[in-house]
Structure 1
Amino acid sequence: MFWRVKKGGSEEMKRRYRYTTSLIAESIAYSFTSNLEKISEEKYIKKLFNKFSLFLPYPVSIRLPSQDLINEMNSLGDKIILIEGIQSSLSFFMIKKELRNRVILRIHNWESNYHREMAISSVGFRKILHNLVALQYKVYEKILFSYQIKIAHISEDEKKLMEVKFNASKHYLMPPIAKSIIDINNEKREIVDFLIMGDMSISGNYVGAEWFAKNVWPALLEKWPDRKLHIVGINSEKIRGSGIISHGYVENLKEFIENNKTVSIIAVAKGGGVKIKTIDTMVSGIPAIYSIKSLEGLMHKEDVMANCYNYTHGNFSSAFIACCQAVENIENTHTYTEYLKKYCLENYSEHAYEKSFNAIRYSQ
């Protein structure tokens, strides 16, 4: 069960949906929108406001399951019910009590913390809204996780923290599936330019890219006047400057990367869970420099940080030094790239997901 499939983490949801249905023939997905597959069905009530709106976090209240859906869930018997995200968890309280032990709730973000973080970097009404939703989620999560519910985390960091805070629930790790953007066969190519990819309508992407473009890029351009910073993605045109080429949305990203000898800057500034862009970059074998925020939630994070160029968002020196090292130490950059690709194939593959999913399915 899920809300919608649009981009980012929801795109990864589509990967798991397709892989899960290939493993388990008797599978069906219920969603608010039917744009995942033809067999998906609209089973949420399309109301922006309802009787729950004043008492629940807004993202939860607008995901109100229809009575038809609850009736179908109640008729599932011993089948597993996988709910995607705290936002879609209202159905847990509406189904028969004896079915609740069949539910797996997959956590994409620890929502109260996520909205609190978003509030810090927001202003005006948006800041007030994020603070209010964070407070609502804090109360809702306390109630939800007081039940003995199976919680599947994508983030190892959040799993460790929530195990302590919500010890009535059972906590597991269910890693996302990484998908290769391009397989460059580990070509040890010269790095000529820099590249930032991402949807700039997403705050965590835009804030990180804008900070890099304004604070780090001018120093890199002074060091290497002939190099360019390419920015690819929706609304990337908002970021301008000397030596910056904003391409907007690129239909064929594979072709773009093949034709440009770049090192990617994964300039994520905020967000929760595991960043899908991070693991997709790693498994693709793309040379990259990572903000520490973009590495948040990864398994064996300390080992990853020791085997990649990374920097702290907001810290000019760490970002500038990481970029210089990546360009000037090509052999080391490609050694890191090989390590990260192997790491992702081991920890964020379809096989890794299947193994974790089965462990949760058959746990008591």
Structure 2
Amino acid sequence: MKNIVLLLLPLFLLACTSTQVIRDSEYKYSEAAFKFSDPQKALEQFPQKEHGGFVTSIEKSWLGFWAGETNQDDLLAQAHTLDSRQYISLSRETEYFFFNESEEGYIPAEHEIIVMHLISSMYFMRNQQWDKARVEAKQASYFLETFFKADQKHFDDPALRTWLAGIWTALGEWNEAQVDIRKAYELTKDKNLLPWIEQKTAPKELSIAFEGTGPKVTWKFGEPLPGFEQDKEKPTVTISYPTLPWFERHQVRNTLIREQISKSNYMSQYYGIQLGKGAQRSVGFVTANTIRATGVVLGTVVGLGGLYVMAVIASHGGGSGSGELFTLPLVGGFYIAKSFWEEGDKIDESFKEYNEKMDVDGKESLKTYRFVRFMPSWISVTDQLVLTATGKEFSMKSPKSPTTVRFVQKF
């Protein structure tokens, strides 16, 4: 009986727990393919859930770019949806955030919004749509430069500025590129940037190198947010900036605006796990008590049956040994009730153990902290040729640009 109940339990919980959010473990084959410089294989191995969602649209667009794809419809759909919902400003503890909720309820990190426009700009450049590429670069610049007032402390990042500077240069907008290079200098005080700031004319060649496939994610049981570790040593290119601060900022953002995060539609996936636990407890309680009650009823019936038979015999003048004989049903009834009660205790304990295991496995596999994966670990800029034994490279140069910009993914 216990095995039957435990066998049916997952089917019952399936109705209570949503399985639409991609688990960490479901990315492993796609991530492995990308690390081994095969973005096409990474797309083929990509998890099938969350189709058309914000996170997966950005991830697959990034993989698709390095696989040579030209279609960016999913990317543009996300930008359009977010723009139509409008961004709002939130302030917490002197820090300012821009905030928007995607159609499926995910609340993108600030760097994810900016990256969405940077990737879209690169797609437009690949498709020779230079004006549209410029619009996307302007959008990225807006969130880095214009959305907040100058005196409002907000997110900015030298790696994103470096990436955007490369796009401006490919579009023939060296002055715009220098704005971002100057800002990267203000953020880092990296003196290697000074010659770029002072250079009056654009270089003939430029390389923007994306190295690695994102920080390592580490989870500790009971913690709502993961830890992140840099997954590669600093590149040999002199001017290189880590993307680790993007993910650390995302954690800070989620903590400071946790009230809004917890109300988002996306978090209903987590609450599904909690509902499943509650339902499982209820099933265990009802099942165990039903078995106990059944034992008591059966034991009582057997015992009372014995008493009835004894009464009948006594009324007909039964022998002196009949009393001892018919105490057996009484004792048997007691043992039946006791046996069922003990089985009920075992079922109750089994459900408790199953519940604890489900709690651990559910949290460990669901990982409610969602973020855009496959991003580079470092972003570098150089006027030298970036050589890589394994990697992908695409060169961009608009008709009005004197500079050929090589975008390089080093795995």
Q: Normalized against structure 2, the TM-score is what?
A: 0.23
Higher helix share: 2
